[in-house]
């Protein structure tokens, strides 16, 4: 089973500075997490204009919740967590869950 962490970053004060820091500093820290098996990012768009979308969403996959916990207890995990405060001026919301695949037959 896959255990997924989703990080939703709110709208930053300076989007260009956020993007540069995320790309040049935070991504290199994140890819060092032990046990990380997949890391994706995307720029969501809201279907409802009255609810603004996050600036960026990142998904980090691990083999288990325990592997995720170990990753964030590691030096790389601590460095990444500390780094968030230096660029995520719009805040960051983190959720995690066990991924369940739903098979679609057509």
Query: Is residue 71 included in any domain, yes or no?
Result: yes
Q: Which tens digit of pLDDT belongs to each residue from 58-77?
A: 999 999 999 999 999 999 99
Q: Which tens digit of pLDDT belongs to each residue from 1-55?
A: 899 999 999 999 999 999 999 999 999 999 999 999 999 999 999 999 899 999 9
Query: Is residue 26 included in any domain, yes or no?
Result: yes
Question: Domain range for residue 9?
Answer: 3-98
Query: What's the distance, CA 74 to chain centroid?
Result: 17
Query: Is residue 94 included in any domain, yes or no?
Result: yes
Beta bridge partners of 5: 60, 96
- Strand order, beta sheet including 92-98: 38-42, 56-62, 3-9, 92-98
Query: Is residue 57 included in any domain, yes or no?
Result: yes
Query: Is residue 7 included in any domain, yes or no?
Result: yes
Q: At 82, is the pLDDT very low, low, confident or very high (cuts 50, 70, 90)?
A: very high
Query: How confident is the model at residue 24, as a pLDDT?
Result: 97
Query: Is residue 105 included in any domain, yes or no?
Result: no
How many folded domains does the chain comprise? Answer: 1
Query: Is residue 36 included in any domain, yes or no?
Result: yes
Q: Identify the CATH number of the domain in which residue 43 sits.
A: 3.30.70.100
Query: Is residue 70 included in any domain, yes or no?
Result: yes
Q: Buried (b) or exposed (e) across 28-50, using 16+ Cβ within 10 A? A: ebbeebebbeeeeeeeeeeeeee
Residues 7/93, Cβ–Cβ less than 8 Å: yes
């Amino acid at each position: 089973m896959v255990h997924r962490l989703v990080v939703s970053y709110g709208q930053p004060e300076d989007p260009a500075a956020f993007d540069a820091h995320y790309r040049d500093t935070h991504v290199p820290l994140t890819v060092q997490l032990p046990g990380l098996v997949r890391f994706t990012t995307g720029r969501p768009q809201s279907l409802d204009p009255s609810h603004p979308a996050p600036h960026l969403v990142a998904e980090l996959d691990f083999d288990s919740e325990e592997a995720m916990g170990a990753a964030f207890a590691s030096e790389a995990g601590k460095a990444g967590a500390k780094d968030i405060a230096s660029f995520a001026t719009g805040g960051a919301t983190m959720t995690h869950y066990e991924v369940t695949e739903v098979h679609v037959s057509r």
